[in-house]
Amino acid sequence: MMFSEKVVFITGGTKGLGKAMAKAFLDEGAKVAVNGRNKEAVAKFEDEFRGKNILAFEADISDYEKMNHIADKVYSEWSKIDILINNAGIVNQLMPAEKIKKEDFDRVIDVNLKGTFYTTQIFGKKMIEQKSGRIISIASQVGFFGEKGFLPYSISKSALMIMTRSIAHEWSKYNVTACAVAPGFIKGGMNEGLIKKEVFVNFLSKRTPIERMGEVNELISLILFLASDNARYINGETITIDGGMTGYNQESLLDFIMKGK
């Protein structure tokens, strides 16, 4: 078992990709705590993993007091926190930049950026005290190239990459390291609805050199690797997992020139 006796906290671990991560860490022997805003999803998580080493909390990551309280509870239960996965995140309503509503922009920044940093700080302080810890944040490939319509989401995910660098620079001396992953379009989580429509799957597949969307287990393998001691020297880095989509143009200048001949 890769994570026997390790304590993992996964934000937004009650659903989607976070829940798949929770299951994978449990299968590898870890004790896993999660949170989410939706009460029913928290109860469902507890039901599904009853009898395993789990803790589940109803809490918004942008609620500093509540997250602080939760961190204390995890400590009083398991006495440490080895790995924090900053997974909770929301996407904005797809919209041209000039039409984005203030509430939508603020909502995405409050959760994805502020909430993630507050959570990192809360758990990070405990990791600094215990002189060990690993922080993995889920960014997004759009944080690199700024996909049209995703402006607040792209900014928030780009900021997580810089946060990861800063944390690595500041906390490595306490043996607390950080890295991030930047997934492309994965067949799960927030894309559950979208993947039911073949037209979207085909569209996204064509935009990817590898010509398909990512599988959930492909992302999970990367997370487990980055959380393991084998990846300890990877610090401050954001790893893309997008089938090569970042920076890819379906039709390159070379293709265009060749077509013209």
What are the residues binding ligand NAP (CB under 6 A)?
11-12, 14-18, 35-38, 41, 60-62, 87-90, 111, 115, 138, 140, 183, 185-186, 188-191
Q: How far is the CB of 20 from ligand NAP (least distance, A)?
A: 8
Q: Name the residue nearer to ligand NAP (CB basis): 41 or 224.
A: 41
Burial degree of 143 (CB within 10 A; 0-12, 13-18, 19+):
buried
Q: 64, 75, 118, 153: which one is catalytic?
A: 153
Q: How far is the CB of 38 from ligand NAP (least distance, A)?
A: 3
DSSP letter, residue 112:
I
Please, are residues 61 and 119 in contact by the beta-carbon 8 Å criterion?
yes
Dist CA 216 CA 183 (whole Å):
10
Q: Name the residue nearer to ligand NAP (CB basis): 43 or 129.
A: 43
Dist CA 225 CA 203 (whole Å):
30
Q: What phi, psi does 44 have (nearest 5°)? A: -65, -40
Q: Name the residue nearer to ligand NAP (CB basis): 64 or 174.
A: 64
Q: How far is the CB of 4 from ligand NAP (least distance, A)?
A: 26
Q: How many Å is the maximal CA-CA distance in the chain?
A: 71
| 248 is an active site residue | no
Dist CA 100 CA 133 (whole Å):
38
Q: Name the residue nearer to ligand NAP (CB basis): 172 or 221.
A: 221
Active site (catalytic) residues: 153
